[in-house]
Amino acid sequence: MEKIVSLGKRRGFIFPGSEIYGGLAGTFDYGPMGVLLKENIQQLWLALFRDSRDDMYGVDAAILMNPKVWESSGHVAGFSDPLVGCEKCKRRFRADHLDDPRRCPTCGGTLSEPRAFNMMFKTHAGAMEDESAIVYLRPETAGGIFVNYKNVVDSIHPKLPFGIAQIGKAFRNEIAPRDFIFRLRELSQMEVEYFVRPPEWEAAFDAWRATMHAYADALGLPRDAVHEFEVPAEDRAHYSKRTIDFEFDYPFGRKELWGLAYRTDFDLSAHQRGSGVSLEYLEDETKEKFIPHVIEPSLGVDRTVLAVLVSAYREDELGGETRAYLALSPRIAPVKAMVSPLLKNKPELVAKARAVYAALKREVPQVAWDDNGNIGKRYRRQDEIGTPFCLTIDFDTLGQENQTAPWLTDTVTLRDRDSGAQERLPITDAVARVKEAIR
């Protein structure tokens, strides 16, 4: 983990939140490379879970919602963790994370009896700071989907089964945020609520389960590091009748990566009761009315980013040196290719390299220009970012100029990140190779 945290900071992926003020526990900021990686991971999710399907729609709901939403959903009463405090050193812990819930793991002091600690962040909407103005930062993006179910039905008229997908921030006042971006207080989720006729729930559950495995494959997570865990009834969330946790072998142990839940009609029924608005679905043909049931694949973005970094991190010997690199799938790599002139003090090389860079960037936006330091250092830097290809313009490129079709015949060297091997090929072929790899 130390190596990943250090690479994350050194190469502009992930920084501690508010770092110059000493940080804020449970918060991290994504830097220039992290933003691109996170966006690519989200784009891949959108492609697989929403855009490649005919039965999926998107929403982008507000984070602040009417507090009645969280009363109806059961979060005000029950979204809590068991909190214990040490009478001696005053530290606080989650009782269910301790081997001995009576003894302080730090100083050995006596721990208090567990009490339910609600994890929702509270704030006030408007100028009054009294009870009537309390609003919550949403603890899951799902709430914004359920309250928009009727809006989507009334505006788009989808036929069952159909689903609503959303990516967004969620907030949880975790008692013990830890393990880098694994357990955060401010996190991002990618969630689907898929509405079905009640007898169809099992088939839909299995179909989404398969989609989640397909997504893990597309991200490049090794199959033997992803495990399904059937969550027993006593450990399931209050709304779920069946939950499978997708667990991942992180360096700090096997832990939950994503969840798949059968939420029954719990949420729509609760919001119908709480709001007084009918959320029944009307079958066109039979005129039957009922509350649809829900299958929910819920994926944390940050835990996915961490699993991707853990899976991609490699060290090997190359050119007599130990190097670290990220073997990221080209589809999600923040930079697809780096273009550089062999020497930066040769204007003719720089001009040609700039032309190749501009041509490639028109076709593939996520390419980088790098002329800092010697070529070996540039390659090492790009290896750590996970850039699959480096295109270098050298004197051989120039030597072939002034022909009738220079883009077809001029050559560059194309370096492969994982093997470090370089080959000389026409510029058009190098561009085609990059495009093919990310397709």
Helix locations, 30-105, DSSP H: 32-46, 68-72, 75-78
Q: Judged by CB, which is closer to ligand GAP: 300, or 334?
A: 300
What are the phi and psi torsion angles at 402 (to 5°)? 70, 30
Q: Judged by CB, which is closer to ligand GAP: 200, or 256?
A: 256
Taking the chain, what is the end-to-end CA distance rounded to the nearest angstrom? Answer: 31
Structure tokens at 171: 């907030």
- Cα–Cα nearest to 327, from 312, 338, 339: 312
Q: Judged by CB, which is closer to ligand GAP: 190, or 431?
A: 190
CB 70 within 8 A of CB 143: yes
Q: What is the CA radius of gyration of the chain?
A: 26
Least distance to ligand GAP, CB of residue 238, Å: 11
Classify residue 199 by burial, with Cβ atoms within 10 Å: 0-12, 13-18, 19+: exposed
Structure tokens at 125: 């909407």
CB 56 within 8 A of CB 163: yes
Least distance to ligand GAP, CB of residue 261, Å: 7
What's the rounded Cα separation, in Å, for the pair 189 and 40? 14
Least distance to ligand GAP, CB of residue 247, Å: 10
Which letter does DSSP use for residue 74 in this model? T
Least distance to ligand GAP, CB of residue 258, Å: 5
Q: Judged by CB, which is closer to ligand GAP: 130, or 230?
A: 230
Q: Judged by CB, which is closer to ligand GAP: 300, or 330?
A: 300
Interacting residue ranges for ligand GAP, rule: CB under 6 A: 140, 142, 172, 174, 183-184, 187, 189, 191, 256-259, 296, 298-300, 302-303
Residue keyed to tokens 């059937």: 230
The residue with its CB nearest to ligand GAP is 300
Least distance to ligand GAP, CB of residue 70, Å: 13
Least distance to ligand GAP, CB of residue 181, Å: 7
Length of the chain: 439
Q: Judged by CB, which is closer to ligand GAP: 138, or 378?
A: 138
Least distance to ligand GAP, CB of residue 367, Å: 31
Q: Judged by CB, which is closer to ligand GAP: 180, or 281?
A: 180
Least distance to ligand GAP, CB of residue 304, Å: 7
- Cα–Cα nearest to 78, from 208, 258, 270: 270
Q: Judged by CB, which is closer to ligand GAP: 188, or 387?
A: 188
What's the rounded Cα separation, in Å, for the pair 213 and 296? 15
Q: Where are the beta strands (DSSP E) in 174-326?
A: 186-196, 226-230, 242-250, 253-264, 281-282, 289-290, 293-300, 313-318, 321-326
